[in-house]
Amino acid sequence: MAYTTGNRTLSKIGIIGSGQIGPDIALHMTKVMQPHGVSIVVVDISEDALAAGRKKLEKKIDRGVESGAFKPEFGQAMKDNALFTNNYEELRGSDLVIEAASEDLGIKRKIFGLVEGMVDENTILSSNSSHMEPEVIFGECKNKSRCAVIHYFFPAERNPMVEIVPAAETDSAITAWLMRYYEEIGKVPIEVGSRYGYAMDPIFEGLFHAAAKCVEEGLGTVKQVDDVARRTLKQGIGPFTAMNLTGGNPLTYVGLQHYAEKIHGWFAPTALMKDHMDRDVAWDGVKRGEKPEVPEDAAARIRDRMLGAFFGIVGEILDSGISNVADLEMGVGTALVTAPPFALMNQIGVAQSLELVERYAADHPGFPVPRCIKDQAAKGVDWDIPVVLRNDRDGVAVLTIRRPAVLNALNKDVFEQIENHVSAIEADSSIRGAVITGFGRKAFVSGADIGMLAAVKTVADGEATSWHSNSILLKVDRCSKPIVCAYNGLAFGGGNELALACHARIARTGLRVLAGQPEPNLGIIPGAGGSQRLPRVVGFEKANVMLRTGRPVGGPEAVECGLISEEVEGDLVTRAVELANDMANNGFTRINREPLADASLGPVDLGHLSTAVDAVIQKAVVEGAKLGLDEGLRFESKCFGEVCGLEDMRIGMENFMKNGPRSKAEFLNR
């Protein structure tokens, strides 16, 4: 057995280093690779480190078994699949090697000098360095084209973010493969240009440094600054508490010294930090349940300082060109569990955000005011934060919805960015068609963002919300160029309605749950075309069950009923691009827009679902079908508004937000 993606096959993965992060990388790899028969080897010269590493891995697996995350037999298989050894010969045959040893250049170069002669010429060599430039790490390697940094974040088995950092000589095909592979195994990779610290650590360590400066300048105690910074930046834990948990004092101290040399002088470590490091003491951060008292005037000063530093640090990284708005926004929220910076600037106001940075810079000579924030403030508009990314391939625009934290759920931004992309595709003579897909493998689109639906308060709000979605998906539907939906994972609610607006649909194979319209469980009806397009695509009999009971279909059933044309075993997007080009060459059949004379629905078992909501669903489907598609969509929006006036809509929404999607709402049928 092996794991194949793109033009590479993995049968063994080698991990060098059984210290703080190596065992966690091994845990993630054995979890995702054991079912494919890919063995994991962890090598370290220290027997004590190996024993501690295996104990750490097994303890975390045991916790997963106890919590029900893993079945006992799978937990044991994961353990059996991970070999901990001091024998470097066990690395022979590895297709991917991840070095996770000490952040010491001499050690890293010694390791790669040894390993490069042991593995195949096609083996990818990578380092989990958190700071060093790949050109420095791999400077003595003979074949630098297959080398790159893969930077994991704490804790590596659970934090989804990885930075992929190619060197100047790294083969672009290697970088592309790593990006694809990590997306497939459940991580959220971003490609970052080569610079000391990459993109995320200067933010993480910079925020800690800014907090330490607040304390050193007398704005508050460590505990007070930790609490205010956490609340200001919407962090799970404050910067001092995070430093304690990651054990990063010595590494961060060295990192700050290098930032001061290689980025700008503001990063020079504080005397306060040096004192804590020299005495080897933890920071007096906020303990669980603690709520430190902070006078409001002091809290306001700390807030302004932390925001000014935060925006300035992020803006400098954007100015440097090693990353972009979309990746920084997602990366900060995902890797650092911190408020996404550009959305926060939009919330505060870009001009006001610039003022905070300028005030911070005035108080801290050497701290730069980023050009990008100045330019954005001068424009007088909010930051544009891409969540629908475009990548052109073979004359086809591939649009990827990337909101992994919410399984690519649709919100106002997604809808409007899709609309803008479709308009641009229509106007681009070099583009013959488009593909719409989702990021990752779990979901194409998990549905409409619940926050968007919960904001609906009145019948008029409901109709307007529905029509906004319908009008945009009409532009997808009416596009003169073929648009193919590539279901990379499940599609629920608005996600499936987006797919239905496309001119063709395909899915990766093996999806036991592919598509569904679960709106009745929430006390609502489809509001983005589902009541009108689904019957036209799969017929009234199948649509009757899906729309009124919320029951989803899997891949084979989707082929059988005509929802998708095929399941794809290999590269889904490549096949979708081929299909779009074929449709552009040979024409394609659009959805029937005429009134349907045979509009009728048979009985279904509603179970716990609301009969009041079901009556509105039936009306939308049957009466809408008699009007023709375009008028039917307008009618659907009116019906969506109507259902928003029902008591059961509020019950369904409140139950979902409080108890989650698996909980059955207690509807009152009114």
- Provide the pairing of β-strand 96-99 with 12-16: parallel
Helix-strand-coil percent breakdown of the chain, rounded to 5? 50, 15, 35
Distance CA(97)–CA(152), nearest Å, equals 14
CA separation for the pair 525, 363 (Å, rounded): 55
Exposed e or buried b for every residue in 167-194, given b needs 16+ CB within 10 A?
beebbeebbebbbbbbbebebbbbbbbb
Residue 519 a catalytic site member = yes
How far is residue 238's CA from residue 235's CA, in Å, rounded to a whole number? Answer: 6
The catalytic residue among 329, 519, 567, 642 is 519
Strands (E), 419-517: 433-438, 443-445, 483-487, 490-492, 504-508, 515-516
Classify 407 as helix, strand or coil: coil
Query: What is the Cα–Cα distance from 614 to 282, expressed in whole angstroms?
Result: 59
Q: How far is CA 528 from the centre of its chain?
A: 24
Backbone angles phi, psi at 435, to 5 degrees: -125, 135
Active-site residue, selected from the candidate residues 463, 497, 567, 636: 497
The yes-or-no answer on residue 133 being catalytic is no
Give the C-alpha separation, 658 to 661, whole Å. Answer: 9
SS3 130: coil
Tell me the three state secondary structure of residue 618. Answer: helix
Distance of CA 272 to the CA centre of its chain: 36
Report angle CA 472, 478, 450 to the nearest 5 degrees: 25
3-class SS letters over 55-98:
HHHHHHHHHHHHHCCCCHHHHHHHHHHEEEECCHHHHCCCCEEE
Distance of CA 615 to the CA centre of its chain: 38
Q: Do residues 539 and 569 make contact, with C-beta atoms less than 8 angstroms apart?
A: no
For 52, the 3-state DSSP assignment is helix
Q: Distance between CA 237 and CA 287 in Å, rounded?
A: 9
Contact indicator for 426, 479 with CB cutoff of 8 Å: yes
Closest CA to 402 of 334, 356, 343: 334
Residue-wise DSSP of 170-226: S-HHHHHHHHHHHHHTT-EEEE--S-TTTTTHHHHHHHHHHHHHHHHTTS--HHHHH
How far from chain centre, in Å, is Cα 436?
17
Query: Is the separation of the CB atoms in 97 and 91 below 8 Å?
Result: yes
Report the candidate in 548, 527, 523 with the shortest Cα–Cα distance to residue 670: 523
> Using CA atoms, how far apart are residues 531 and 528, in angstroms rounded to an integer?
8
Cβ partners under 8 Å of residue 23, min gap 6: 42, 52, 53, 54, 56, 57
Give the containing element (helix H, strand E) for 375: helix 371-379
Find the helix or strand (DSSP H, E) in which 124 lies.
strand 124-127
Alpha carbons 564 and 654: distance in angstroms, whole number:
33
Contacts 24+ apart (CB under 8 A), 399-402: 399/434, 399/435, 399/436, 399/437, 400/437, 400/438, 400/439, 401/436, 401/437, 401/438, 401/439, 401/444, 401/445, 402/326, 402/330, 402/438, 402/439
Which residues are designated catalytic?
Answer: 497, 519
